[in-house]
């Protein structure tokens, strides 16, 4: 019994298949990079499944020594909108955004904090060095609350309206521009 020998065209197509796959992937990667350069690609722009929905309920212990009360889901509902900020001492972008959180706190914005997967003593040291902008502060060492919020990484901030509905999400550090162009107008809108 003799085996059928593949035709030359079939052999060439089998050899060219990996090249075609690589070309398609390269084209997609190039388009993504090109979009990054023109400002049309923003990895923070991945929408949250929580937008327009009630914020997930939770109960977190307080950070000992921070002199702030524990934080729970009921703290996200009240007489004004709140910002819920996930941070960590090991997070370099958290240092970049911290002055904006301090500014909002001084301006009377209710900023609530969640120390994400951080050693309590490290979180406390971070807040002692940079200031504590949080009206209430919870510790999410295992990261369970972060999972419920669909956290991509730290820092990440959510604006929650008076009724406890998530209205805005920002993955990445809050810069002065983000504060002026997005957060301040949203706080006024949902006041």
Q: Contact, 112 vs 86, CB < 8 A? A: no
- pLDDT at residue 12, rounded to an integer: 74
Q: Per DSSP, what are the bridge partners of residue 68?
A: none
How far apart, in whole angstroms, are the C-alpha atoms of residue 122 and residue 128?
Answer: 10
Fold of 48-189: Glutaredoxin (3.40.30)
- pLDDT at residue 141, rounded to an integer: 95
- pLDDT at residue 175, rounded to an integer: 96
Cβ atoms < 10 Å from Cβ of 27: 10
Rounded to the nearest 10 degrees, the angle between the axes of helix 120-130 and helix 92-106 is 60
Backbone φ, ψ for residue 54 (5° rounding) = -60, 140
Contacts of 77 (CB under 8 A, 6+ apart): 160, 162, 163, 164
Q: Per DSSP, what are the bridge partners of residue 156?
A: 86, 171
- Per-residue pLDDT tens listing for the chain (191 residues): 556 676 777 777 677 767 767 666 666 655 555 544 444 334 445 567 899 999 999 999 999 999 999 999 999 999 999 999 999 999 999 999 999 999 999 999 999 999 999 999 999 999 999 999 999 999 999 999 999 999 989 999 999 999 999 999 999 999 999 999 999 999 999 99
Map out the domains of the chain as residue ranges: 1-41, 48-189
Q: Contact, 94 vs 87, CB < 8 A? A: yes
- pLDDT at residue 40, rounded to an integer: 38
Q: What is the pTM of this model?
A: 0.76
- pLDDT at residue 45, rounded to an integer: 54
- pLDDT at residue 3, rounded to an integer: 65
């Amino acid at each position: 019994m003799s085996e059928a020998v593949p035709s030359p065209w079939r052999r060439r197509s089998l050899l060219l298949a990996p090249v075609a796959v690589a070309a398609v992937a390269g084209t997609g990667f190039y388009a993504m990079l090109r979009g990054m350069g023109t400002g049309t690609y923003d990895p923070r722009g991945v929408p949250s499944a929580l937008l327009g929905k009630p914020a997930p309920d939770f109960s977190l212990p307080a950070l000992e020594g921070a002199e702030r009360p524990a934080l729970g889901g009921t703290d996200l509902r009240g007489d004004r909108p709140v910002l819920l900020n996930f941070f960590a001492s090991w997070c370099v972008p958290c240092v970049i955004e911290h002055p904006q959180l301090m500014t909002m706190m001084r301006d009377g914005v209710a900023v609530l904090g969640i120390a994400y997967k951080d050693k309590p003593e490290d979180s406390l040291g971070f807040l002692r060095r940079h200031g504590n902008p949080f009206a209430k502060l919870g510790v999410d060492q295992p990261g369970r609350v972060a999972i419920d919020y669909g956290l991509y990484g730290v820092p990440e901030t959510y604006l929650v309206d008076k009724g406890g509905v998530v209205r805005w999400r920002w993955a990445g550090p809050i810069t002065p521009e983000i504060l002026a162009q997005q957060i301040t107008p949203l706080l006024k809108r949902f006041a």
